[in-house]
Structure 1
Amino acid sequence: MDKSGERVREMFRQIAPRYDAMNHLLSLNIDKWWRRKAVQTLKIEGDAPILDLCCGTGDLAIAIADAAGPDIQVVGSDFCHAMLEIARDKEAARVRDTAGGSGRQTIPFLEADSMALPFDDNAFQCVTVAFGLRNIADTDQGLSEMARVCQPGGQVLVLEFSQPTLPVLKQTYSFYFRHVLPRIGQWMARNDKSAYEYLPESVGKFPCGEALAGRMRDIGLLHVTFRPLTLGVATIYVGEKPGRTTTHAEQAAQREDEALVST
């Protein structure tokens, strides 16, 4: 599968104008609920900024900023200029609609390579990515960069498609994902990079569940847990960057969480 930067960037450039409409249609709007669950999973403390990389058209970054409050700066980054332009338009519309954007800080959307982020070490209290990690050419490098720019004790959160394990659902989902979604998506998005054939192929070849959690542990994250959503169609993964001393109560709670995940 071709995950080269040029191919993926051009693919998203071509589908950018219809990207949001297609996501909502093909997921039956469940993608909005998945993002809400991701935001609820974040432990936002103090006033350190938050980074959402591979931010696309900005939906997760905007949801985080709305939840974080006025003192926390949220930053979005992506390497596709066309997607960022849509994110900036959304943020500008929000500012206009709220009489100057009162209530929270405006999100800067920056063009950046997720394998070489232009941010200092330990700069963000949380670093997130939604449905973008599998598009990074080197998954481990992308995770390593997320951990590098995260503060000690901060969260690295991944929201990504996964593969259901229930037998009937697995077969139904696989048929829809591999045969129905590509035809509808390609007809509506009209691009020459087969974006909606790339989607099921990229999901099928990407690690999920314990396999991705293990990759997160391998790059040094601690207390890694994952939570399947919608019977495993998507999954939220969370890890903590080492460095913060945890209390005995926190350690006990974490052991209980990990025991629940493993059962």
Structure 2
Amino acid sequence: MADNSKDTTHFGFQTVAKDEKAGKVADVFHSVAAKYDLMNDLMSMGIHRVWKRFTIDCSGVRRGQRVLDLAGGTGDLTAKFSRLVGETGEVVLADINSSMLKMGREKLRNLGIAGNVSYVQANAEALPFPDNYFDCITISFGLRNVTDKDKALASMFRVLKPGGRLLVLEFSKPLLAPLSKVYDAYSFHILPRIGQLVANDAESYRYLAESIRMHPDQETLKQMMEDVGFENSTYYNLTGGIVALHRGYKF
């Protein structure tokens, strides 16, 4: 019997053809884009802002540098990086989803952020940038939605300058069993209800919860980064491991 596992991947808890996943993920984010910031605050009780601030603090980004905020969505990290790199630097907000990119552009322009930020619709697996281009790349709550994570990590490695660093902020595996049980109850019962009430979309938030469970754990992701060439890879568990920040360098 033929092994079709190489042609399939997961979409939440479903098994789908690899060439179908990107479209299904796109549908989710087209649906949630308009309420994305509000839902982030509700889902995390505002703690996502602390996680993102920690990511910025760990980035080492300085004036005049070039930063890629990949899967940057509505631009929370881009807004901070824009101030850090100043007029002589550059921040690229990239997202595969046109609806999310539109929301990010509108939000940042309303905040008066324009001069050093550009917007690119891009697939993380085949980034449309030259080799050795960025000083820093961040991908925040986006890697778990990528079909081929190894290919995406290799693409990020390619476009980083020597000495550059990648930061992956993503949901991960809680460290304590009691926390896992509470987190599961919240994710699979409460989160879809919030999604239904606020965004009129329980299914998309059910997928987001499932996608978190299918994402590699802390040690697995660290090894995946090292396998494509990143060195000195480390991770920091945040909020008991519900979220982890991975950091790796290109030398």
Aligned to 2:94: 77
Match of 1:30 among 42, 47, 62: 47
Aligned to 1:253: none
Instruction: Please tell me whether the aligned partners of residues 162 and 203 of structure 1 are also in contact (alpha carbons under 8 angstroms).
Output: yes
Correspondence list, 1:91-240, <5 A: 91-95=108-112, 105-191=115-201, 194-240=203-249
| Structure 2 CA distance for aligned equivalents of residues 44 and 77 of structure 1 | 18
Aligned to 1:18: 35
Q: CA deviation at 1:34?
A: 0.6
Instruction: Please tell me whether the aligned partners of residues 86 and 116 of structure 2 are also in contact (alpha carbons under 8 angstroms).
Output: no
SS at match of 2:129: coil
Q: CA deviation at 1:46?
A: 6.1
Normalized per residue, which structure has more strand?
Answer: 2
Q: CA deviation at 1:6?
A: 0.7
Instruction: Please tell me whether the aligned partners of residues 87 and 116 of structure 2 are also in contact (alpha carbons under 8 angstroms).
Output: no
Alignment gaps of 5+ in structure 2: 1-9, 12-19
| Structure 1 CA distance for aligned equivalents of residues 78 and 217 of structure 2 | 23
| Structure 2 CA distance for aligned equivalents of residues 135 and 62 of structure 1 | 23
**Matching residue's letter, 2:237:** P
Q: Does 1:40 pair with 2:57?
A: yes
Determine what percentage of the aligned residue pairs are the same residue. 38
TM-score by length of 1: 0.85
Alignment gaps of 5+ in structure 1: 96-100, 243-263
Instruction: Please tell me whether the aligned partners of residues 12 and 80 of structure 1 are also in contact (alpha carbons under 8 angstroms).
Output: yes
| Structure 2 CA distance for aligned equivalents of residues 89 and 230 of structure 1 | 31
Q: Once structures 1 and 2 are overlaid, which stretch shifts more, 160-169 or 135-144?
A: 160-169
RMSD of aligned alpha carbons: 1.6
SS at match of 1:115: helix
Instruction: Please tell me whether the aligned partners of residues 15 and 190 of structure 1 are also in contact (alpha carbons under 8 angstroms).
Output: no
The number of residues matched between the two structures is 234
**Matching residue's letter, 1:221:** F
**Matching residue's letter, 2:214:** K
Q: Does 1:5 pair with 2:15?
A: no
TM-score by length of 2: 0.88
Q: Once structures 1 and 2 are overlaid, which stretch shifts more, 139-148 or 41-50?
A: 41-50
| Structure 2 CA distance for aligned equivalents of residues 64 and 161 of structure 1 | 22
| Structure 2 CA distance for aligned equivalents of residues 188 and 120 of structure 1 | 41
Deviations 1:139-168 (A, max 9, x none): 111111111110011001100011212122
Deviations 1:157-197 (A, max 9, x none): 100011212122121112111221122213322248x2111
Instruction: Please tell me whether the aligned partners of residues 195 and 201 of structure 2 are also in contact (alpha carbons under 8 angstroms).
Output: no
| Structure 1 CA distance for aligned equivalents of residues 51 and 237 of structure 2 | 10
SS at match of 1:108: strand
